[in-house]
Amino acid sequence: MSIRQAIRSAAPYRFRSHAYRVKLDQNESPYGLPAGLKERVMERLRAAPLHRYPEIHPRVLQEKIAHHFDWPTTGVVITGGSNVLIRCFVIAAGIGQEVLVVSPTFPVYALQAQQLGARLIEIPLRGDFSLPVS
């Protein structure tokens, strides 16, 4: 089996832990769930049919999210994780092309752009985290 050079030469993706006062990466929150909400979650979990797969196409969830945010259903994308969505974006728009991201950003953009033969262009955010649009 032949492995493309872009894959062979890719450095391993390693998560680096940093000293922190409040950890906010990996979509975490510094606040726990209120006890009442946590109990409601557990009630639903106890009643859930965990022996069955969820919908193949999560239309019900997609419709609820769209309704909640007053957004078109076609504008809501649901994936099994951010890496899946990132890969889809890079495949759709960037194989052998240029992928533009802001920096700092999620390091998987660079890794997947490299693996798919795209040239990654990183634009640094300003000190106030605004986009440099000029």
The answer to whether position 129 is within a domain reads: no
Cα 78 from Cα 80, distance rounded (Å): 7
The answer to whether position 38 is within a domain reads: yes
Residue 102 sits in a domain whose CATH number is 3.40.640.10
**Residues comprising the chain, all counted:** 134
Integer angstrom CA distances of residue 37 from 42, 43, 45, 89: 9, 10, 12, 34
The answer to whether position 19 is within a domain reads: yes
The answer to whether position 119 is within a domain reads: yes
The predicted structure's pLDDT at residue 59: 93
Query: What range does the domain containing 100 cover?
Result: 5-124
pTM above 0.75, yes or no: no
Identify whether the C-beta of residue 66 lies closer than 8 Å to the C-beta of residue 73: yes
Domains: count for the chain: 1
Identify whether the C-beta of residue 68 lies closer than 8 Å to the C-beta of residue 62: no
The answer to whether position 100 is within a domain reads: yes
Would you write out the chain's pLDDT as a tens digit for each of its 134 residues?
A: 687 777 788 777 777 777 877 777 667 777 889 999 999 999 999 999 999 988 888 999 999 999 999 999 999 988 887 778 777 777 776 677 888 888 887 777 878 887 888 888 888 888 888 888 86
SS3 content of the chain, % helix, strand, coil (to 5): 40, 10, 55
The answer to whether position 110 is within a domain reads: yes
Cα 56 from Cα 42, distance rounded (Å): 24
The answer to whether position 15 is within a domain reads: yes
Identify whether the C-beta of residue 129 lies closer than 8 Å to the C-beta of residue 121: no
The predicted structure's pLDDT at residue 35: 95
